[in-house]
Each structure stands twice: as structure tokens, then as C-alpha cells.
Structure 1
Amino acid sequence: MVKVTVISPLCSVTKEWNVNITLNEMCKKLQALTGVSPSDMKLTFEFEDGKPLKVLEHPSLDPDLCPLKSISHGTRIVVQDTNQNSMANQLQSSGGGDPSFKLSEETYAQRKDSILNWKIQNRWGRFDPETKARQENDRKLQQQRVNQLEVGERCSVCTNSQPERRGYLRYIGKISDINNLDIWCGIEFDCAVGKNDGTLNGKVYFGPVEAKHGGFVKPCNVETGAQFVPLKEENESDEEL
């Protein structure tokens, strides 16, 4: 997972996405967040690890590209709408893009010319019944796994993007900087295979531990038990001491 900050005239939000997400999948997420059609997008990637800027004028023409692959730090994606007649541009020109112009959440929710209302009408993102059902089912599965875990025990972590990693389960709970719904597991890894030291945005959730020995993963990727002893290094052998 990599932290991504999405910026557009009507949107500023931080998400965590899989580094193997394709451009096609990313554009769908970006459209749900910004209201900009993929065919109208101009994307500028600003990488925190020093990689040069990457600009994609027509992202829909290269759907299988994985722009976040090999990124070890976060990135900013600036989304520009090249269609001057789009709804997002019309909202911006009517005052929605003025940073000094702010509405209360209640007032904004009542507007009919807002991105929020557009998402509701078009059933995008969290307003899509199927998406909402999948999210609710996923949270039930995560809670079921949490009931089988014990903080302080040895653990194994298996995700699609990484080989098995082992360590100790140090934290179970929510992370307010991500959202107030999902439950996460904080892991102290045996080796430097994590992404943090048990802290996130300055808040300590466990530890702190050594740099890159900490990480946060979903409960369904974690299993605890005394059998998960430290993994041997590739060059270790039972025939050598």
C-alpha cells in the first residue's frame, strides 16, 4: 500500500492504494473523488521519493499501466479537467473552487449543483449499493478475524503484494487518519520489511519500534500463534551453526 493525496479544484483527500493498481482502476477511483471523467483527465504525479514528475494527458489510453509500482513513499496526484464544459469546471467557475469559499457540511449536502449530489445521483463510490454492500461485508469479515487474534502474540502476515512476513501483533484498532470505520492491525516485524516505526502522521499506535519494522495491515491478512517463529534468512541452513 502507498499513501496517495488526490488534489483537484473541488477535492483534496488522502487515500491508501495498492501499488499494483492499474491506471484504469485508478481513474475510476479518481472520478468518484473528483467528478472528472477519465477521458478528460490530465494527471500529474508528484512523487515524494524524488522521482521526476510524471504527466499523463490521456490516461484512458494506457489502462494497464501501474503508475504507483516501485514507489516506496507517498505521492500527490493533481487531477486537471481538460473539458471546459464539464460539470466539475462549471462548479468551479460558480464558486466551488474558490479556497476562501467554504460551506458547512449540512449546507453543502443540501446543494443540488455539488459533486456530492452528482455522486448520489450517479451512485458513485460509497453511494453505489454494490460498493457499500462489499464494504460492509469486508468489515464483517475483518471483525470476525479480529475475534481470533491476540495482541502480543507472534503472527504471520500474508498479503497479495508481499511474501510472508512475521513478527508480533502489537495493535488492533481504528486509525483516525484513515477513517473511523475500518479496523487495522499494527505489526512489529522481525526484519525491516515494514513502512513505519509504529507511528502514523506523528501519532504513536504502538512502539515506537525500529525504522521500517512497523506496519499496519487489515486483520484478514494476519494470523497469530506460537508456531510463527522468525523466518530463516535465505542463506541460513539447519546444517550450519
Structure 2
Amino acid sequence: MSRALSLFISSPDTHSERRFDPHITVLQLKTKLELITGIPVDNQRVVVYDADDAPQPVGTLDDDEKQLGFYGLRDFQVLKVEDTNPSVTFTGQLTDVSKVEKFEISDEQYAARQDSVLAYKQRHKVGRFAPKEESAAAPVTVDIPLGARCEVESSEEGFHKRGTVRFVGQTQFGTGGGVWVGVEYDEPIGKNDGSVGGVKYFSCPPKCGVFVRPERLQVGDFPVEDLGLDDEEM
């Protein structure tokens, strides 16, 4: 059983790290890449780079019948998937906002609206509109034990951000003070390794750490889930 290759997949609309069996053919790889990038197999041109910012490619996977091992691919190389017919698949247009008409409003018009965030804050005396005596609120305390399993809220339906609490307390970053909770995610979907601004608050693998406010997470019996970040054939 051969060891799977860890490769970065890059396209006009996506960028991710995946794992592939070196014995699969280029055609089998392209079939998998269609699910990742949205580019049809027949329209794919797969170019190999040593890094995202490498100025020149080191090769092209141009023979659909050859196995990946034939090209001597190495871990953490980049496969840039180009769309040879973007007019059909609209590649890149999902992330191009240059042609989107922008809605603009003057400061005076915005201040006159009654359905804006500004109007809400004024009505409910929130933020800078709060009475002076309410601005000096008592320090917030939280009861979140270290080592507890937790789930951080996500805007993506069905996507669970689960991990373990590694830090609870004050930090040197952020505005307004208050308590931050450091979480070690089960998968590399975070932002750091437990360090922010050169200060180490806890230790975890790169991109597995994140800091959130207490109200953004829930502590409970949350088992580890497989998010399907690996794409490996055995």
C-alpha cells in the first residue's frame, strides 16, 4: 500500500489541500478535480508548480492514461487547474465582483433611514449611543473549562466547527477587552497555531487554532467528525 500524496489544488474559484493515491491515472484525478473545482474533465489543463508563488511551472499532467507517480509528484506541490473553455463553465466569474453594480448612499441619506443599523443603535442606546453610566460595564466572567469539547457557530449550514477548549481569558489583541476562548479545531480550518501577534496563548498544529468570544461557542458532548478534507484512495 503506497503512501498518499498531499497536494494543493488551485483553480480560479478554489484553493484546498487534498490527498491522492499516486497510482491513480491523470484521467481519474481530473474526475476528482471536477468535483472540487467545477471545471469539466475535458476542459481541464493541470499544471504542476513547486509553490503557489513559483514563477514557472515544473510540468503538465498531459497524458490521461499515465499514473500520477509517473510525473514524480512530491508532497505539497501545487496543481493549478486551468479552464480551457471558461465561456462555458463561467470559471472565475463567481469571484469577480468588478462588474457588480454597487449600491451607494450618502451619509445624510443613511442617517435619515429608519431601517438601518445606525437607527437601531440610536433607538436601543447601543454602542456610542449608550448612556455614560452604562459604558463602564462589569467584567464578564465565563464558566468554560479547559479541555472541554465545544462547537463554534458557523454560517455554513451543516458545517460543524468542532474542537477542544485550550485557553480562556484576557488577551493582548482585540478591542474592548473581555474574555476570549482559544479553541484547537479537530481539522485545519482555523487561523493560527495558538499564537497571535507573537504571543503564545496555547499550542496546536498550524491552522488548527482560533480565538472566539464565549457567546460564539457551545460546550458539550461533541464527538470528532470527519469533514472530508482528505481525498485518498487506498
Normalised-by-shorter TM-score class: 0.3 to 0.5
**Higher normalized strand content (fraction of residues):** 1
Tell me the TM-score normalized by structure 1. 0.38
Q: Which has the higher contact order (CA 8 A, sep 6+)?
A: 2
Tell me the TM-score normalized by structure 2. 0.39
